[in-house]
Structure 1
Amino acid sequence: MAIGSVKSRVRSFFRPGLAKRRRSSNTSSECEHKKIKNELMAPAQTDAINNAAVGIDGVGLDMQLASPFFRNLPIEIRRMIYNLVWTGPYDHKYHAGRGRHIHFQNGHWINARCVMYEDDEDLDLLQKNMDSMHSSGKGDLVMWQRRLASTWGCRHWRCEERMQYERRKSVDHTDFMSMMLVCKRMFPEVVESIFESHQFLFNDFFSAHRFFVYNPSPYIPYMRHLDLSLNLPFHEYAPFVIDAPKSRVRELWKALERISCLHTLRISLDIYDRGAWRKIPERGVTEQLRNLKVLKDFTLELPPSLPIKADIPNMHNLDAQGEEPFTVVRRPPLRYWQFTPGQVERFTWDTHTKGQQSHCFITLAREARNVPNPYLLDFF
């Protein structure tokens, strides 16, 4: 069914006569019609409707009892109609047909369509392209290095570039606002349908914390699909190293526990202020995630498992063999990085053993030198 015909049918429920009629200045007939309708209704039914029609602020709410849309169609059919309205012309083009990136900018919320392709699900796609450029000597490795270091994650680098540069506004178009402004009776059903039918993607911790913790919406429990890509500074992970009870990340995990009907959840964790050396307190940060209720697919994406020994228990790698309620996916180890400004170098990981201690180094491909772990003291 075409979207235009669906919208026209929805309008027809609220305006049976599509021809515009000028409202008469004499309101006596309207008052008489309301009087007759109230007399025909049972007193108990009238009291129940009047009580339901009064909002929290005392403002009357029209229950739209004369509308065939609400009177004749059950809520299940109305939700099916809303779901058809959200169908867009670009849904077939991108991997997440109804994925919406949500972020807080300049004092207001912005939502943009996710333009990730199916090939972007390959977590090593960026470095594979860099491999071909490195072998051929053609291509801009600095540009691909910027994408590799993106705080939006290796899956949504196209979405980040689209937000940074000029983009086609028509791709982001939705009918959210027009549907929410139809009437007060329809508003909560429309918002619930939006939360149920779309995948919400957050790529910065500030927006996610503000949305779920600082100023949460009462419709958050209706959310069904959520994707969090959180590249946090190390001070946000520090409370998990020492088991500190107070943490903004813990507040976010606690807020997610209130979503009792999540169908799919993907959480990608990374750290962006340690360059090629990336290690987070996996056991501590994932302990609270076991309390989340996800019906179908729960995926936890973690940094690569580097051969770095850590004496602190919470800094140990998460045991993939354990009985976890989520699927652990690790990104492949980095093999390209920009150690010198303007120059991207290929490297390999090397482990040197001396006595009973093993230390991990970065071995550059072009030069016969090793780059030691600059944060070695943090883990020993």
Structure 2
Amino acid sequence: MDDTSSSHCSADPQFPSPFFTVLPAEIRNLIYAEFWKLYSARQHVVKRQIREEADAEGDPGSFTEQWLHVPCLVDPSAEDIRWSKYMDSSPSSEDRRIWVNRLRSEWCLHWACEEQIQLQDRTGPAESVSDREVSGAPKSPPAHGRTGILDLLLTCKRIYLECLPSLYSSTTFILTDTRTAGEFLACYGTDAERFPLRSLELCIRLPNLLTEIYYPPAVPGLDDEGPPAIFAGRARPTVSVRNNPWQRLCDALVALPAPLHDLRIWLDSSDLRPWHKRVSETRFFARLSDVRGLDKTRFVLSLPELPERRGPDSHALQEHYLEDDKLDDVPFTVERGPRPNNWRVHLRNIVSFSAAAALSLQPNAIGPVYPVPPPEA
């Protein structure tokens, strides 16, 4: 993902190579496309802070940010197993702790990919998440799959320049947070010739601040520009409906110079309160109605389920959901599915912690913790 503007002039034409002199460009592009499939056509894009080497005086180097790609381990058609695994685990067990962390993972459905990166940072590429004692993680790809893309890109400058568009047009790029996704599109989504993006997948666990910004104002018709007072206090922060990471990401999707072929957005919320009580979908997704050029069946919003009963006690945001006639004029398809129950996880953690604390206070002697009155004579 480096800048290629300075490489064209210095690239060797490689005339002695039969790969370039015998094979036409169309065949070479087919070879590149098959190569990307061999080494995973689904790649996570992450931004990591890399510490530079210490200087001559021994002072630690400063941090620089680098874009990295990581092969995806997850079958996109597989169901989310986290909640069922969590419910099957024993309270206060190590399995329970691990599945709680996976339920809270910012990578959502791609928790195994996140753990694979963390594991490689500690142990190197030899071990995989599926080698660990806790079951439930998908199989990791072969070790060569982690570096295969770079093997081709680093062959020579001409191959790098020629195959780079093929890489971008043949790969599904997966991003798991709004800020990184917006920055990625700002860097690589503005030049359709050099970086012809075709397939994008966003899998994001939204912080409740982002969804609260779009909560309907107390006075109908009032154009409220800021977050609720619970977040803003008396001093209104710079974040607003028109200035926040989610809005900038939507703006970047609208501004893409060439339409994507596939765009899938899977969302959940970290809020303890249910999605249907706090998220105004018509306000939150309004900007996505301006995305054009995709087949409606290839632009999919995967959202949490809504309750069937909408009485006053359900605290439903009537007329604020993407359903029925609200879907007539939008350029996307809405799919709904179950999501982890954050409130139940939170309560169970409190109960487990309280039980563990009570056990730690019990005396070593065998017998009841609380005094029992002596039997009557």
Q: Residue in 2 aligned with 1:289?
A: 288
**Aligned residue identity for 2:198:** R
* Equivalent position of 1:254 in the other structure: 251
Partner residue, 1:192: 165
Could you say if the C-alpha distance between residues 113 and 86 of structure 1 is closer, same or farther in structure 2, counting changes exceeding 3 Å? same
Kindly report which structure 2 residues correspond to 1:113-152, keeping only aligned pairs within 5 A, or say none. Answer: 113-117=71-75, 121-123=78-80, 125-133=81-89, 140-152=95-107
1:49-94 CA distance string (max 9 Å, x none): xxxxxx7799455445565434443322110111233343xx6xxx
Displacement of 1:113: 1.5
Q: Which residue of 1 aligns with 2:265?
A: 267
**How many aligned residue pairs are there?**
276
CA distance in 2, matches of 1:58, 1:83: 22
CA RMSD of aligned residues (A): 3.5
AA matched with 1:291: D
| 1:162 maps to 2:120 | no
Distance 1:58 1:294, change over 3 A: closer
Q: Which residue of 2 aligns with 1:46?
A: none
> Which structure 2 residues correspond to residues 208-223 of structure 1 after superposition, within 5 A?
208-213=181-186, 218=191, 221-223=195-197
Higher Rg of the two aligned structures? 1
> Which residue is 1:74 aligned to?
24
Tell which deviates more after alignment, 299-308 or 162-171.
162-171
Cα deviation for residue 194 of structure 1 reads 1.1
| Alpha-carbon distance between aligned partners in 1 of 2:188 and 2:24, rounded to the nearest angstrom | 32
The alpha-carbon distance between structure 1 residues 141 and 203, as it changes in their structure 2 partners (threshold 3 A), is same
* CA distance in 2 between partners of 1:122 and 1:269 (Å): 14
Q: Secondary structure at the match of 2:347?
A: strand
Hey, what's the Cα distance between the residues in 2 that align with 1:110 and 1:57?
A: 20
**What is the CA distance between 1:159 and its match in structure 2?**
1.5
In 2: Cα distance, 1:318 partner to 1:71 partner: 55
Q: Contact between 1:266 and 1:299, CA under 8 Å: does it hold in 2?
A: yes
- The residue type equivalent to 1:294 in the other structure is L
Q: Which amino acid aligns with 1:111?
A: H
Shift in alpha-carbon separation, 1:333–1:235, aligned structure 2, 3 A? closer
Q: Percent identity?
A: 25
Cα pair 1:104 1:110 within 8 Å, conserved = yes
Q: Which one-letter code corresponds to 1:213 in the other structure?
A: A
Q: What secondary structure sits across from 2:107 in the alignment?
A: coil
Deviations 1:191-230 (CA, angstroms, capped at 9, x unpaired)? 1111122211111223212211267573575122211112
Give the deviation of 1:144 after TM superposition. Answer: 2.0
Shift in Å, 1:163: 2.2
More RCO (CA 8 Å, sep 6+): 2
Equivalent pair of 2:43/2:172 in contact (CA under 8 Å):
yes
The 3 A distance-change label for structure 1 pair 121 and 87 is: closer
Please report the TM-score for the alignment, with normalisation by the length of structure 1.
0.61
Runs of 5+ in structure 1 lacking a partner?
Answer: 1-54, 92-96, 346-380
Structure 2: unaligned runs, 5 residues or longer: 50-64, 127-142, 216-223, 226-240, 308-313, 354-377
Q: Is the 8 A contact 2:152 2:160 kept in 1?
A: yes
Pairing 1:52-91 to 2, within 5 Å after superposition: 59=9, 61-64=11-14, 67-88=17-38
* Matches of 1:56 and 1:110, distance apart in 2: 21
Q: What is the CA distance between 1:110 and its match in structure 2? A: 2.1
4+ runs of 1 displaced by more than 6 Å? Answer: 55-58, 136-139
Paired residue for 1:303?
Answer: 304
